[in-house]
Chains A and B, each alone.
Chain A
Amino acid sequence: MANLSGPSSTEADAAAMRAFLGALLPPLMGLMLLVGIWHLATMNGGSIPTPGKTWEAAAKLFADPFYRNGPNDQGIGWNILASLQRVAIGFGIAALVGIPAGFILGRFATMASMVNPIISLLRPVSPLAWLPIGLLVFKKADPAATWTIFICSIWPMIMNTAQGVMRVPQDYLNVARVLNLSEWKIVTRILFPSVLPYMLTGIRLSIGTAWLVIVAAEMLTGGVGIGFWVWDEWNNLKVEHIIIAIFVIGIVGLILEQTLLLLARRLHTEA
């Protein structure tokens, strides 16, 4: 037994190692290629800093991410957190309005045909077009940015939730009819679980949009936030900080998306 399990377990380990490397190697090579091209393009001088210089700047920046030197000079950590907070508030309100609205549109066809043209009209509007309306109504920069997040991230949640409600399998609804379930049980035991995957897709798309929009909105409204920080560093001509910000924005967006994907996979039930 010992003789048999010895070599086979090392073989299994080796196979797992190969699979791990196989999964990790290509993305790593892609990343190295990107940095390589970046280095080749910038090593002869010019306005864009090299990867090395950017790395040094990043190390300095992240050595103390949470300092405060007055309202317009705060660490990058504070800027990220400020942006995330705005996204959370705007997106949170959008979810509170959008998900129930999606349920209503999915359940009542008349409502859907009433509201769908309006949604189609408003959905493609650029976030920046909404910002002046927010400034006008709220008279302050911060709620205006939140409003912009709200209005841009609400559409995917409405549309995906409505789609999910419309696609609840007829079989399940027949079960509900034969069992003569109450409206409450229909919502909690059949509609909600069956719409959940669609809802999560909507939430994921919404968060993505919200994170896209916040940078643009903050560039215009100022204050604290990653978008404002990018604009501020452009005014200071610290180009390496702008590149760092691009990476930071990308990584935060990636983490948000992956977290929701993970959540969706955890909640997925197989028929």
Chain B
Amino acid sequence: MEKFVKIENVGMSFDTRKGKFVALRDIDLTIKQGEFVSLIGHSGCGKSTLLNLIAGLTLPSSGVLLCANREIAGPGPERAVVFQNHSLLPWLTCFENVHLAVERVFAANENKAQIKERTTKVLELVGLAHALHKYPGEISGGMKQRVGIARALAMEPKVLLMDEPFGALDALTRARLQDELMKICDATRATTVMVTHDVDEAVLLSDRIVMMTNGPAAAIGEILAVDLPRPRERLTLAHDPQYMDYRSAVIEFLYAKQSHPLAA
């Protein structure tokens, strides 16, 4: 499907005590099925707001968003979200956290054993077979984020939405999870939208990088198509001139054209 997610002329403003705050304006974007799109920009540019709009957690002030030709009128399991701070329920084990999601989506058509198997399988996929019955408080930040990813993947969503999924992790853990995510996305052909502020992460993972101008009233500045063959290898890409070009194009946009609001 060419135009799987369609964002048409979307604007978003919030009513604050100081009056109307325009967060986003004139957003037009289409995302193909199976495509991996990153949203990058300085903090406060409304990239998370755009992700929440696709998730349906907030509704746009103007314009319309479509997913598989249906208007997005609210959140739903076909657009799974990996939250920035993992948002696992601390009183449920890793297994139970994922099970809650699987149960909701598949309980109508599958029996209990199948649902349990699905839950276990998706946790194995993210390498957590050994931590099924641990509570979120007992595992590391990287593991928690993997449970968050597993929970989203387990719903077999049409679109996977990720809000800075690796932002809170150390560099080594982040790299490992990025590699795993690439493998998972290649295997499942999931349509993915990821918010990030990490240039390397964006270039390494994306088919297209949507670069956003500074807020308030942020808009799409440029869109960069990353035409690197898959599967991608972090080590070989590090010296690839094409990779370097993409990387510098994003850096150019972020630091020359849209210098940081605090530095201005």
Contact = CB atoms under 8 A, between A and B. Distances in A.
A190 B92 CA distance: 10
A179 B104 contact: yes
Interface in A168-206: 171-172, 174-175, 177-182, 185, 189-190, 193-194
B135 A269 contact: yes
Contacts of B75: 174, 177-178, 180
A interface majority secondary structure = helix
A254 B100 CA distance: 40
B90 interface: yes
Interface of B: 55, 57, 74-77, 79-81, 83, 85, 87, 89-92, 100-101, 104, 135-137, 155
Contacts of A64: none
B136 A174 contact: no
A175 B104 contact: no
Contacts of A175: 83, 87, 89
24 contacts: A171-B83, A171-B85, A172-B87, A174-B83, A175-B87, A175-B89, A177-B57, A177-B74, A178-B55, A178-B75, A178-B81, A179-B77, A179-B155, A182-B104, A185-B100, A185-B104, A189-B89, A190-B89, A193-B89, A193-B91, A269-B91, A269-B137, A270-B90, A270-B135
Contacts of A180: 75-77, 104
**7 closest Cβ pairs, A-B complex:** A270-B137, A193-B91, A171-B87, A271-B90, A177-B75, A269-B91, A269-B90
A179 B81 CA distance: 9
Nearest to A175: B87
A198 to B, nearest CB: 14
Contact of B87 (A174, A181, A194, A269): A174
Contacts of B155: 179
Which residue of B79, B80, B91, B101 has the most chain A CB atoms within 10 A of its CB atom? Answer: B91
B65 to A, nearest CB: 15
A63 B137 CA distance: 50
B94 to A, nearest CB: 14
Contacts of B79: 178
Contacts of B100: 179, 181, 185, 189
A181 B97 CA distance: 12
A189 B79 CA distance: 21
Contacts of B90: 269-271
A35 to B, nearest CB: 44
A175 B79 CA distance: 12
Contacts of A179: 77, 100-101, 104, 155
Interface in A139-185: 171-172, 174-175, 177-182, 185
A271 B137 contact: yes
Nearest to B137: A270
Contacts of A182: 104
A178 B87 CA distance: 12
Which residue of A181, A182, A270, A271 has the most chain B CB atoms within 10 A of its CB atom? Answer: A271
A190 B85 CA distance: 17
Contacts of B101: 179
A148 B27 CA distance: 62
Contacts of B55: 178
